[in-house]
Amino acid sequence: MSIQRRRERERAEREKLIVTAARELAEAEGWDAVTTRRLAAEIEYSQPVLYSHFKGKDAIMAAVAVEGFAELAVELRAARAAAEGAREALAAVGEAYTDFARRRPALYDAMFTHTVDLPFATPQAPAALHEAFGELLRAVEPIVTEGDDPGLLTETYWAGLHGLITLMRSGRLPKEAHAARLSLLTAHFTACAT
Amino acid sequence: MSIQRRRERERAEREKLIVTAARELAEAEGWDAVTTRRLAAEIEYSQPVLYSHFKGKDAIMAAVAVEGFAELAVELRAARAAAEGAREALAAVGEAYTDFARRRPALYDAMFTHTVDLPFATPQAPAALHEAFGELLRAVEPIVTEGDDPGLLTETYWAGLHGLITLMRSGRLPKEAHAARLSLLTAHFTACAT
DNA sequence: TCCCGATTCTAGCACCGCTAGCAATCCTGC
DNA sequence: GCAGGATTGCTAGCGGTGCTAGAATCGGGA
């Protein structure tokens, strides 16, 4: 009876331990440093236990990514709540988004860059993912002009943010002008509105 | 004398062979299939010859990427030349860009996604890279409103295109609405201009 | 106390990028 | 024509990867 419960609890704890260790290792040294051997050593278990919890390394990254979506949603919401007008809110959310990516590059990679076996653009996607996208949506909605689809506009704005981040992070865009590019992007999405 | 020449020529031919084989293999089966062993087998030489031409696998990818930049520049120029007005030209270039990425995903990855040891945002960058960016710039320039920097605006528009492509390719954005998102992006960059 | 089942580990597979050191080849000078 | 020497390309191997089969160990129930 209770023994079963205890085992399930311990198992859940160990799963959490794996995800946390993977995330910390990735944030400290990048995902390349997160090998199954290294991760196993970190949690002080042998390699195969990882596979009794997750299908493979990708699934572990996916679990880390889901954590990230929840945190991103919180940060975006805070940024939007702190801003005054609609334009300011969008700018604040854009800055919060790129700031999240800058502060947590490994987490961002798991969420948006790495190939990871998560359902994305479907209702089956994790709730945290929908929440994060919803925060973006709520920031974009007020500046939608008639005739435009809010969802599509949000996706497009999101793509702009994501493009800025990835191109900058890979050295393809100079870091210095990031703020200028970001405000250009936001300005062009809010222009002609209101 | 001439013997030296012949050797240099043969060496250059083999180098070209490596790059071509890498590109074809990548386009046919993706970059994961391009292992040094596989590539060596493809060119019918042993593995270490690759390292007498290139510092490593990344350098081979970089060489493939440079080929891609040249081709992209050509396609963007053609699209711009075929269009009538400034807005139509930008839309055409945007479509040509995303179409290039759709038709040549592996090439696009080498150019814009993969970490590759190429100088990018500096004058030392390959000429083909500057040409490709120049084509984008020439499409954006006519729609720049006063006060905005054309270079920065081009970078921002480029980031939008790149974000749309990568998020769509990784399944994070549904493929169906791509055309709608692309025209939204272009519209928001041309709005309030002229 | 003993046994059985679940759990965890050891050992190993096939692959990766990359390199040291040897063998064969080809050009040069006698 | 032929030996000597540099160059070239090969074989073999290193340390690493993700992942897994099967042995061993541990815990709970009879």
pLDDT band of A193, cuts 50, 70, 90:
very low
The answer to whether B177 contacts chain A (CB < 8 Å) is yes
Share the mean pLDDT of chain B: 94
User: b/e for B71-94, b at 16 or more Cβ within 10 A?
Assistant: ebbbbbbebbeebeebbebbbbbb
Which residues of the protein are close to the nucleic strand D, CB under 7 angstroms? A 3, 34-38, 47-48, 51, 56-58; B 7, 14, 45-49, 52
B34 in Cβ contact with B106 (< 8 Å): no
What pLDDT shows up at residue B8? 80
- For domain B57-190, give the fold: Tetracycline Repressor; domain 2 (1.10.357)
**Any idea of the CA torsion for B166, B168, B173, B178, to the nearest 10 degrees?**
120
Q: How many CB atoms lie within 10 A of CB A48?
A: 9
CA gap A130, B86 in Å, rounded: 38
Per-residue pLDDT tens digits for A39-68: 999 999 999 999 999 999 999 999 999 999
Close Cβ partners of A105 (under 8 Å, ≥ 6 residues apart): A169
Place of tokens 């572990």: A60
The number of helix segments (H) and strand segments (E) in chain B equals: 9, 0
Q: How many CB atoms lie within 10 A of CB A63?
A: 22
Output B91 or B121, whichever has higher pLDDT.
B91
Give span(s): CATH 1.10.357.10, chain B: 57-190
Report percent pLDDT > 90 for chain B. 87
A108 in Cβ contact with A129 (< 8 Å): no
Residues of B in contact with A117 (CB under 8 A): none
A25 in Cβ contact with A42 (< 8 Å): yes
What pLDDT shows up at residue A6? 75
Share the mean pLDDT of chain A: 94
Q: Is the pLDDT of residue B194 over 60?
A: no
The answer to whether B162 contacts chain A (CB < 8 Å) is yes
Q: Is the dihedral of CA B50, B55, B61, B64 positive or negative?
A: negative
Residues of B in contact with A170 (CB under 8 A): 112-113, 115, 120
Place of tokens 């984008």: B136
B51 in Cβ contact with B97 (< 8 Å): no
pLDDT, average across residues A120-143: 95
Give span(s): CATH 1.10.357.10, chain A: 63-190
**Among candidate residues B102, B26, B113, the one with its CA nearest the CA of residue B64:** B26
The answer to whether B147 contacts chain A (CB < 8 Å) is no
- For domain A1-53, give the fold: Arc Repressor Mutant, subunit A (1.10.10)
pLDDT, average across residues A121-129: 92
- Residue of A124, A165, A188 to mutate, interface with B, max B Cβ within 10 Å: A188
Residues of B in contact with A188 (CB under 8 A): 156, 188-189, 191
Q: Do B188 and A184 touch (CB under 8 A)?
A: no
What pLDDT shows up at residue A194? 39
The answer to whether A64 contacts chain B (CB < 8 Å) is no
Give span(s): CATH 1.10.10, chain B: 1-53
Q: Do A164 and B166 touch (CB under 8 A)?
A: no
Range with the lowest mean pLDDT among A52-56, A77-81, B1-5, B25-29? B1-5
CA gap B62, B31 in Å, rounded: 12
What pLDDT shows up at residue B2? 66
pLDDT band of B153, cuts 50, 70, 90:
very high
Q: Please name the member of B152, B166, B184 whose beta carbon is closest to the beta carbon of A184.
A: B152
- Residue of B117, B164, B178, B188 to mutate, interface with A, max A Cβ within 10 Å: B188
Q: Do A181 and B120 touch (CB under 8 A)?
A: no
pLDDT band of B192, cuts 50, 70, 90:
low
Q: Is the domain covering A63-190 a CATH 3.40.50.880 domain?
A: no
Place of tokens 């809110």: A89
pLDDT band of B191, cuts 50, 70, 90:
confident
Q: Is the pLDDT of residue A4 over 90?
A: no
Q: Do A121 and B174 touch (CB under 8 A)?
A: yes
pLDDT, average across residues A184-191: 91
Per-residue pLDDT tens digits for B114-138: 977 788 989 999 999 999 999 999 9
Residues of A in contact with B185 (CB under 8 A): 156, 159-160
Per-residue pLDDT tens digits for A70-114: 999 999 999 999 999 999 999 999 999 999 999 999 999 999 999
A155 in Cβ contact with B181 (< 8 Å): yes
pLDDT, average across residues A147-174: 96
Q: Give, as ranges, the nucleotides of chain D with any atom within 7 Å of a protein CB.
A: 8-13, 16-22, 27-29
**Any idea of the CA torsion for A7, A12, A17, A19, to the nearest 10 degrees?**
150
B91 in Cβ contact with B189 (< 8 Å): no
pLDDT band of A146, cuts 50, 70, 90:
confident
pLDDT band of B146, cuts 50, 70, 90:
confident
Query: φ, ψ for residue B10 (rounded to 5)?
Result: -60, -40
